[in-house]
Chain A
């Protein structure tokens, strides 16, 4: 009896139109920031030096050059070994933080995060001081040398440790105490409980941590640059091809080879995450560890040892930066902080870094949060929102070096109207925001999913424009997440080397890049000093965030109190 009514087209309100226009704009922006540069990189791999299409010739020549192919194997080897060391280490550390009674837990947690605030070349430099040709403990190595795979692995362990620890702490923190009570009541042994309850609960965290560490090592450039010696890896090859030999096509090919494992790891992680169901239901009882002397003592000692190692590496870099002439004159000096003596930019590169980090934090946070909101809350428009979602996840799978390379090819093309951006501070900001887009987007999306989904429906029924609810309700509620994104961007912009190394101009050189250059020129102490300044800056910003969070925002957000 029903009449055949053709599919109804619902009218769009002004809000709908505005939000759809916003989504289109966002998709366009992300396309320029990510899609097109990567496309340019892909295309470059099929061209010769003069820009003529040569098909797979570059790839064939790549895989038939043993030295280049060896780098790929080297990268895989370093990544595998580092992953095998970091993940168990981080698991024990995270276990100590979440499942045992640890004195001064907050301090151990804080120390484990230190490497995040440092550029990746810092551990490399510290190892040179400790075990280098003139190192303190050189004798311990006998005939061995720290330059090469051993040095890279040790430095990578330091650099990747906080990332794995963060993931595993989250995985282990969400435990249901009732599962453990049930296992206890059923008389399961400690061993059995560990293998049947604890480990399965952290399974996805372990896989995730392993993939993240693997990708980090594969794509990191600073460590291998500083301490790799003659041990070539993919990341240093890209740098040598592009900066050393100006062979952009071959650089693009190595970049694509570098992209493959990172993209693969990302895909595996997505697949695994999709299988994960919420282990912690709303009715779960959080697990509170009870004191147990032997266990707590063991884990306290373990954490002390790991923390001491982290602090030793950081401390070595600081000490090295303060020493007059290693190892002959160990008296202290601040001369190494007079950067003008080592690099024509002097302290300017530091201020460039701060400006760039601030720019990325402001521009990136606004873009990521507004973008996530538009993509979450726009009614209908599924196709376009899918495009945005894909582009927002893309950077996670793209190493910084590869993205930076794509930026050269795309923005430096003479016929690109955006060419004016090339070699400006603007392109560094845009590149950094693009490079770290995924985490910010995810943080914002998670925060938005946690608030009541009906705010927009209520506003519509009250005839209040949706942007007003965004500025008056949604954004204020999500302020903690917004600050998290801003700090994340600031810290990463301060420390990143990989993607910006191809993009700076003489007057926009960044501190992290200057550190690489200074180290390359042989003045390790000044490079260490620059790294220390970067660590202090990003750690200070993070500390200010924590303090503000505790005192200022608690007052701004009285409404959270019950």
Chain B
């Protein structure tokens, strides 16, 4: 596997404000990478620097071995799709998709053939003669995608491409874009603030915060083994229990010691957060000798649809609360209701500890 894109020590400052601080990143050829983070985290800034639209203050970018750091956008090799689609409203869909082909002096028949091919690829074979205003948002986004792919760029950049669409269309397009990317094998970078989008579409996710990269990893790695408290909190739901590290594999919360994975980087006596995802809390069939058992009382029960999110309070310490996801079956089988007392267990291999 070769690195298609190498970003080194990239910084971007606006006056005193640092939008990107010393960011380094590799993207492998054919990979689908998502930049994920809250608004203002620098993900769009990084994407626009890679495109050359808003050049970095310092640092280098190499694309396919070529140093493109100082090149204007027109001399770089990429296709781009914006959240606003940026379709030319006065040109037909055919002319939009063929826009970049016309200037390459191909003959009209060849252009038309390529446009037809692309429109079929994005599932809009009959849209050619229409104008953008006559298409739905999802259709416009597909045309924008076809236009970006028309010149067969080596790198596809997607800047929040799905944010302007309604939920149902968004779900469908997620799969379509991912499938298309897999078929074409084009190296793709997508910016999004939607963690679910990143988790379902990306080969690798780059989680960003305050202009820096927090973690790079596959969706499973990001979700299962968040590297920082920020990632743990931003991706998925997470319980944060305030405690103290007693031994490398023991955290004390409200006077009770919990077993946890060995913490190499933290010193005993340090204040830490003990973290567990709501769906990892065990309730059923607890063996008698199970570790990290806690007797709790159900304080609140929020119906979410497929499951219920329960707020549980420790019977021994009412100010310690955590949320857990209970399936409808479990609620029925155990007769859980507000005020119900039951025992839960926090499986050590599912616990994360952050300073």
CB distance A473 to B133 under 8 Å?
no
CB distance A461 to B56 under 8 Å?
no
Interface locus among B83-91, B160-168, B177-185, B264-272: B83-91
- State whether A461 and B59 are in contact (beta carbons under 8 Å apart), knowing that A10-B72, A473-B91 are contacts in the complex: no
CB distance A477 to B89 under 8 Å?
yes
B291–chain A nearest beta-carbon distance, Å: 40
**Contact flags A1-38 to B (C-beta < 8 A → 1, else 0):** 11101111111111110000000000000000000000
**Contact flags B87-113 to A (C-beta < 8 A → 1, else 0):** 011111000000110111000000000
B161–chain A nearest beta-carbon distance, Å: 12
In the complex, what distance in Å separates the CA atom of A1 from the CA atom of B133? Answer: 50
**Contact flags A449-464 to B (C-beta < 8 A → 1, else 0):** 0001011011111111
Any chain A CB within 8 A of the CB of B73? yes
CB distance A452 to B86 under 8 Å?
yes
CB distance A5 to B59 under 8 Å?
yes
Any chain B CB within 8 A of the CB of A273? no
B78 contacts across to A, CB distance below 8 A: 461
Interface size on B, residues (CB 8 A): 45
Interface locus among B145-153, B221-229, B231-239, B281-289: B145-153
Any chain A CB within 8 A of the CB of B263? no
CB distance A455 to B72 under 8 Å?
no
B100 contacts across to A, CB distance below 8 A: 461-464
A12–chain B nearest beta-carbon distance, Å: 6
Any chain A CB within 8 A of the CB of B42? no
A476 contacts across to B, CB distance below 8 A: 90
CB distance A562 to B72 under 8 Å?
no
CB distance A7 to B57 under 8 Å?
yes
Any chain B CB within 8 A of the CB of A386? no
- State whether A463 and B90 are in contact (beta carbons under 8 Å apart), knowing that A16-B72, A562-B134 are contacts in the complex: no
Interface locus among A230-238, A422-430, A553-561: A553-561
**B68 nearest in chain A by CB position:** A11
A460 contacts across to B, CB distance below 8 A: 52-53, 72-74
CB distance A11 to B75 under 8 Å?
yes
**Contact flags A519-534 to B (C-beta < 8 A → 1, else 0):** 0000000000000000
Any chain A CB within 8 A of the CB of B80? yes
CB distance A557 to B57 under 8 Å?
no
In the complex, what distance in Å separates the CA atom of A473 from the CA atom of B82? Answer: 17
In the complex, what distance in Å separates the CA atom of A5 from the CA atom of B132? Answer: 44
**B83 nearest in chain A by CB position:** A454
In the complex, what distance in Å separates the CA atom of A2 from the CA atom of B10? Answer: 9
A2 contacts across to B, CB distance below 8 A: 9, 11, 22
B158–chain A nearest beta-carbon distance, Å: 12
CB distance A3 to B147 under 8 Å?
no
In the complex, what distance in Å separates the CA atom of A473 from the CA atom of B87? Answer: 10
A523–chain B nearest beta-carbon distance, Å: 52
In the complex, what distance in Å separates the CA atom of A462 from the CA atom of B79? Answer: 7
Q: Which of B71, B80, B88, B151 is the one whose CB lies under 8 Å from A463?
A: B151
Q: Which of B58, B79, B86, B92 is the one whose CB lies under 8 Å from A6?
A: B58
CB distance A7 to B58 under 8 Å?
yes
Total inter-chain residue pairs, C-beta < 8 Å: 118
CB distance A560 to B89 under 8 Å?
yes
Q: Which of B55, B58, B89 is the one whose CB lies under 8 Å from A559?
A: B89
Any chain A CB within 8 A of the CB of B209? no
In the complex, what distance in Å separates the CA atom of A13 from the CA atom of B68? Answer: 13
A209–chain B nearest beta-carbon distance, Å: 34
A16 contacts across to B, CB distance below 8 A: 72
**B98 nearest in chain A by CB position:** A462
In the complex, what distance in Å separates the CA atom of A557 from the CA atom of B80? Answer: 27
Within 8 A of B (CB), among A168-209: none
A459 contacts across to B, CB distance below 8 A: 99
B84 contacts across to A, CB distance below 8 A: 452, 454
B176–chain A nearest beta-carbon distance, Å: 21
Any chain B CB within 8 A of the CB of A468? yes
In the complex, what distance in Å separates the CA atom of A341 from the CA atom of B72? Answer: 66
CB distance A462 to B99 under 8 Å?
yes
B135–chain A nearest beta-carbon distance, Å: 10
A458 contacts across to B, CB distance below 8 A: 80, 82, 86, 99, 147
Q: Which of A3, A13, A465 is the one whose CB lies under 8 Å from B73?
A: A13
In the complex, what distance in Å separates the CA atom of A3 from the CA atom of B75? Answer: 27
**A17 nearest in chain B by CB position:** B72
Any chain B CB within 8 A of the CB of A292? no
Residue with the greatest number of chain B CB neighbours at <10 A, chosen from A6, A15, A455, A463: A463
CB-defined A-B contacts under 8 Å, sample of 19: A5-B11, A8-B58, A10-B71, A11-B72, A13-B72, A452-B84, A452-B86, A455-B86, A455-B88, A458-B99, A461-B74, A462-B79, A462-B100, A462-B103, A463-B104, A464-B102, A468-B103, A560-B89, A561-B134
User: 12 additional contacts, CB 8 Å, given A6-B58, A458-B80?
Assistant: A8-B55, A16-B72, A454-B84, A458-B82, A459-B99, A460-B72, A461-B79, A461-B80, A464-B102, A561-B131, A561-B134, A562-B134
Residues of A within 8 A of B (CB): 1-3, 5-16, 379, 452, 454-455, 457-465, 468-469, 472-473, 476-477, 557-562
The 10 closest A-B pairs by CB, nearest first: A462-B100, A13-B72, A5-B58, A460-B73, A454-B86, A559-B131, A10-B55, A2-B22, A460-B74, A13-B74
